[in-house]
Amino acid sequence: MAIKGERTREYIIHESYTLFAEKGFKQVTMKDVCEVTGMSRGGLYSHFSGTDKLFEAVLEKITEENSIDFQREIEKGICAVEILEKALKCMEEEMRHPEESLSIALYEYAETVNSDVMKRLNGNAQDRWNKLIQYGIERGEFMEVNVDEIVNVILYSYQGVRMWSRILSMKPKTIRSITNNIRKQLIGEQK
**Residue 130 in contact with a second copy, rule: CB under 8 A:** no
Window of 13-21, 35-43, 56-64, 101-109 that interacts with a second copy by CB under 8 A: 101-109
**Residue 63 in contact with a second copy, rule: CB under 8 A:** no
Query: 94: closest CA among 19, 145, 2, 170?
Result: 170
Is residue 101 a contact partner of residue 162, using CB atoms and an 8 Å limit? Answer: yes
Q: Which one of residues 1, 2, 3, 167 is an interface residue with a second copy (CB under 8 A)? A: 167
* Size (the chain), residues: 191
Residues that bind a second copy (rule: CB under 8 A) add up to a total of 35
Distance CA 60, CA 154 (A): 20
Distance CA 94, CA 155 (A): 13
**Residue 168 in contact with a second copy, rule: CB under 8 A:** yes
Window of 12-20, 72-80, 111-119, 129-137 that interacts with a second copy by CB under 8 A: 111-119
Is residue 97 a contact partner of residue 36, using CB atoms and an 8 Å limit? Answer: no
Distance CA 12, CA 34 (A): 9
Is residue 133 a contact partner of residue 150, using CB atoms and an 8 Å limit? Answer: yes
Distance CA 78, CA 73 (A): 6
**Residue 124 in contact with a second copy, rule: CB under 8 A:** no
Q: Which one of residues 110, 125, 137, 143 is an interface residue with a second copy (CB under 8 A)? A: 110
Q: What does each C-alpha distance from 87 to 17, 36, 73, 90, 124 come to in angstroms?
A: 22, 32, 11, 5, 15
Q: Which is nearer to a second copy, 3 or 167 (CB)?
A: 167
**Residue 10 in contact with a second copy, rule: CB under 8 A:** no
Q: Which is nearer to a second copy, 34 or 155 (CB)?
A: 155
Window of 3-11, 52-60, 62-70, 169-177 that interacts with a second copy by CB under 8 A: 169-177
Q: What is the binding site for a second copy (CB under 8 A)?
A: 103-104, 106-107, 110-111, 118-119, 122, 146, 148-150, 152-153, 155-161, 163-164, 166-168, 173-174, 177-178, 180-181, 184-185
